């Protein structure tokens, strides 16, 4: 069993426990009371590289990263620094996140919010909407084609945007066949957990020109934002580099500045 298999199994056990506590009908009622999700694709259509910052306490590769006693405060600092969206890890076991973190962040910021988890069921998608998410992560490696298509369709039906994550050329082809409009290329190897920053440049040309492309993992500083932009990234997703810093707003601001005009080929000029 790979570490991804273990995380998916754990996420499945956890959402089934929540189903027993809160039936789907109740979750749907909560979701229906919320205002519509934000149109992420329209908001990120400008010339700048969007910077997505994560509320992330821990990871399988690095262990504990930060305590984050107040996720709302951290998210507000990200937004103050110019983050285009906030990614919230809601996986409980290895990332030490929660749905309450997602709710707290949603209440604290006006930028789009991503539920980042190991989504395998419709219930989890409804949960994301009920907690105010505008985006939901769908990991191609964790889903067969039928399940991926069904979840992708539900995300769209609820007005949210799916960030469809791929790791290699084969998964890129699956995302393209799905018609995904927002595709993330994760530079972290699922088997070794090592990061190869060349993954995005290798895989991105396989993606449809109509899709916005997100470079995930490996952003250490402004130089990596510039490199990803030059390789065709429309957005970057940043976790460790901002969550472990002393001044989150300043760290995010530096990354945002590096991405100014990046989609127009002006980064680094």
> Given 59, 87, 116, 127, which residue is catalytic?
116
> Which position has the token pair 């994760």?
186
77 noted as active-site residue: no
Rounded Cα distance between 55 and 169, Å, is 29
The sign of the CA dihedral 209, 231, 38, 95 is: positive
13 noted as active-site residue: no
The radius of gyration computed from the CA coordinates of the chain, to the nearest angstrom, equals: 17
Tokens of 67: 């305590």
> Given 77, 91, 127, 165, which residue is catalytic?
165
**Pick from 197, 193, 199, 262: which is nearest to 51 by CA?**
262
240 noted as active-site residue: no
**Pick from 62, 61, 57, 64: which is nearest to 89 by CA?**
57
56 noted as active-site residue: yes
**Pick from 6, 21, 3: which is nearest to 99 by CA?**
21
> Given 91, 127, 171, 216, which residue is catalytic?
216
> Given 77, 87, 217, 240, which residue is catalytic?
217
Which 8-state DSSP code applies to residue 55?
E
217 noted as active-site residue: yes
Strands 50-55 and 85-89: parallel
> Would you say 156 and 136 are in contact if contact means Cβ atoms under 8 Å apart?
no
> Which position has the token pair 């919010």?
113
Strand ranges in 158-209 using DSSP code E only, listed in sequence order:
161-166, 182-186
> Which position has the token pair 């998410």?
133
> Given 56, 77, 121, 127, which residue is catalytic?
56
Rounded Cα distance between 94 and 56, Å, is 10
Tokens of 128: 């994301």
- Residues classed as catalytic: 54, 56, 116, 165, 186, 216-217
């Amino acid at each position: 069993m790979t570490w991804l298999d273990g995380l998916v199994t754990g996420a499945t056990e956890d959402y089934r426990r929540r189903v027993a506590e809160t039936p789907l009908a109740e979750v749907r009622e909560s979701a229906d009371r919320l205002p519509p999700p934000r149109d992420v694709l329209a908001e990120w259509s400008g010339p700048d590289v969007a910077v997505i910052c994560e509320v992330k306490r821990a990871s399988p590769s690095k262990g504990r990263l930060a305590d984050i006693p107040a996720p709302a405060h951290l998210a507000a600092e990200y937004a103050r620094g110019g983050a285009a969206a906030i990614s919230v890890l809601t996986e409980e076991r290895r990332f030490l996140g929660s749905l309450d973190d997602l709710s707290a962040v949603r209440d604290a910021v006006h930028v789009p919010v991503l539920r980042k988890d190991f989504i395998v069921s419709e219930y989890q998608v409804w949960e994301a909407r009920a907690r105010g998410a505008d985006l939901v992560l769908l990991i191609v490696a964790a889903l067969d084609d039928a399940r991926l298509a069904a979840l992708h369709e539900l995300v769209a039906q609820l007005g949210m945007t799916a960030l469809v994550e791929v790791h290699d050329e084969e998964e890129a082809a699956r995302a393209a066949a799905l018609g995904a409009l927002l595709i993330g290329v994760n530079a972290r190897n699922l088997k070794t957990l090592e990061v190869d920053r060349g993954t995005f440049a290798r895989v991105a040309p396989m993606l449809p020109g109509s899709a916005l492309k997100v470079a995930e993992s490996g952003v250490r500083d402004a130089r990596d934002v510039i490199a990803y932009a030059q390789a065709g990234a429309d957005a970057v997703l940043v976790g460790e580099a901002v969550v472990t810093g002393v001044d989150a707003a300043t760290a995010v601001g530096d990354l945002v500045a590096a991405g100014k005009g990046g989609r127009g080929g002006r980064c680094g000029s």
